[in-house]
Amino acid sequence: MEPASALVDPTVLQALREFRMPDEPDPADEVAQAFVDVMPDRLARLRAAAQRGDMVEVKQLAHQVRGSCAAVGAIAMHAIASDLEAAATPADMPPLVAQLEALFDTTRPLLVSVDHR
């Protein structure tokens, strides 16, 4: 298992916290929760596209995933999404998607507990 520091860069969400307004929700919590909410569907769509060998859809979804990962500081997932976006052949895609899914499983608890840090 990767150490937390290799999975999430906490400075990304800390920077979002600086925009918190009194009596308003914490933007870091909102962004982290949105990531956790949308990522399962994106990963499922990514897995299906990779299994079909649809490189165009995989690259589009990988680009979306990469951007979402950057927004929350999910650095390990970001790296794999970048690799997936640059995948050269359809055979390269399923193993990278599997890595992304596994990383999401270990990254999600770190983001869900963001307000406890």
CATH number at residue 100: 1.20.120
Q: How far is C-alpha 6 from the chain's CA centre?
A: 13
Please give the residue range of the domain that contains residue 81.
Answer: 28-111
Task: Look at the chain and report how many structural domains it folds into.
Answer: 1
In-domain check, residue 1 = no
Q: pTM of this prediction?
A: 0.89
In-domain check, residue 15 = no
In-domain check, residue 40 = yes
User: In sequence order, which residues have a C-beta less than 8 Å from that of residue 29 and are 6 or more positions away?
Assistant: 114, 115
What pLDDT does residue 116 have? 38
In-domain check, residue 2 = no
- In order along its 117 residues, the chain shows pLDDT tens digits of 566 678 999 899 888 888 888 888 888 899 999 999 999 999 999 999 999 999 999 999 999 999 999 999 999 999 999 999 999 899 999 999 999 999 999 999 988 875 433
In-domain check, residue 86 = yes
Structure tokens at 34: 């949105």
In-domain check, residue 49 = yes
